[in-house]
Amino acid sequence: MREYVIATGMVLLTTPVNDYDRRIVLLTKEFGKITAFCKGARRQGNKMCAITNPFVFGEFKLYEGKNAYNLIDADISYYFEELRIDYEGAYLGMYFLEYASYYTRENNDEIMVLKLLFQSIRAIIKPNIDNRLIRAVFEIKMIVINGEFPGVPQNKDFLPSTYRALSHIVDSPVEHLYTFAVKEEVLEELLWLGNHYRKKFVDRPFKSLEIIDNVS
């Protein structure tokens, strides 16, 4: 009997395979970003259908194949079902999934990215946090986690409150990121910074971001 592994993570991407199967991309604590196939996941009534949706977070039971894993079961902690009726939040969440997928690799230590992704999706479903602030925090912290944060641009002046907010984002543990609010003028500067860092370090556009910009 083949041995299986348990991986804790989140579904980043789901694509159909054949008539009834699915291919998923998982960001996991143990193995970084991995690909897994799930047979029958598209069959009506199959419990694997809900398990293989984007945003789903939990423990995944996998057999390791030659080129990919095979998903056979899962113990799900969060389905983030709130995003099914929150289109703005869903688009933002898809952007985060795509951003995380861009930066992560198989067999890398991606725990901090997984934590940031999980906490950011949780923040989206909270009604008291501005989605624009969540986006700015996520974009800046992603650059920090990946060791590319260059500091504050020297050719542009920012408000003192923006410097304090930026310091909080850079220095705080991921679990404490979404614990503050800012005024509109500070938020605009944080959004500018997030956009600036993304354009500087990411070498391709994100489809989900194009949708957000078109509907906002």
DSSP letter at 153 equals: -
CB 95 within 8 A of CB 139: no
Instruction: With a cut of 90, say whether residue 67 has pLDDT above it.
Output: no
Rounded to whole angstroms, the maximal C-alpha distance in the chain is 63
Do 75 and 90 have their domain in common? no
Tell which of 60, 79, 98 closes a domain: 79
Tens digits of per-residue pLDDT, 155-192? 899 999 999 999 999 999 999 999 999 999 999 999 99
Task: Determine the pLDDT at residue 1.
Answer: 46
Tell which of 39, 55, 79 closes a domain: 79
Tens digits of per-residue pLDDT, 93-114? 999 999 999 999 998 999 999 9
- Provide the total of helices (H) and of strands (E) in the chain, helices listed first: 7, 5
Pairing of strands 32-38, 69-78: parallel
Do 95 and 173 have their domain in common? yes
Q: List CB contacts of 207: < 8 A, sequence separation 6 or more.
A: 98
Do 35 and 115 have their domain in common? no
**Rounded mean pLDDT, 1-9:** 85
Do 186 and 122 have their domain in common? yes
Quickly state the pLDDT bin for 2 (edges 50, 70, 90): low
Helices (H), the chain: 48-51, 87-103, 111-124, 131-145, 160-171, 184-201, 207-215
Cα–Cα dist 86/94, whole Å: 12
Phi, psi of 65 (to 5 degrees): -95, -170
Q: List CB contacts of 42: < 8 A, sequence separation 6 or more.
A: 16, 19, 20, 21, 22, 49
Do 75 and 88 have their domain in common? no
Tens digits of per-residue pLDDT, 118-132? 999 999 999 899 999
Cα–Cα dist 127/59, whole Å: 27
Cα–Cα dist 163/147, whole Å: 19
**Rounded mean pLDDT, 81-95:** 95
**Rounded mean pLDDT, 9-32:** 96
Rg of the chain taking only CA atoms, in angstroms: 18
| Averaged pLDDT of the chain | 94
- For the chain, what is the domain count? 2
CB atoms within 10 A of CB 31: 19
Q: Is 170 exposed, middle or buried (0-12, 13-18, 19+ CB in 10 A)?
A: middle
For residue 188 the two structure tokens come to 């605009």
**Rounded mean pLDDT, 73-100:** 96
DSSP letter at 131 equals: H
Tens digits of per-residue pLDDT, 187-216? 999 999 999 999 999 999 999 998 888 776
Note the pTM of the prediction, 2 decimals.
0.94
Task: Determine the pLDDT at residue 148.
Answer: 96
Do 101 and 34 have their domain in common? no
Do 34 and 101 have their domain in common? no
**Structural domain of 50:** 5-79
Do 202 and 102 have their domain in common? yes
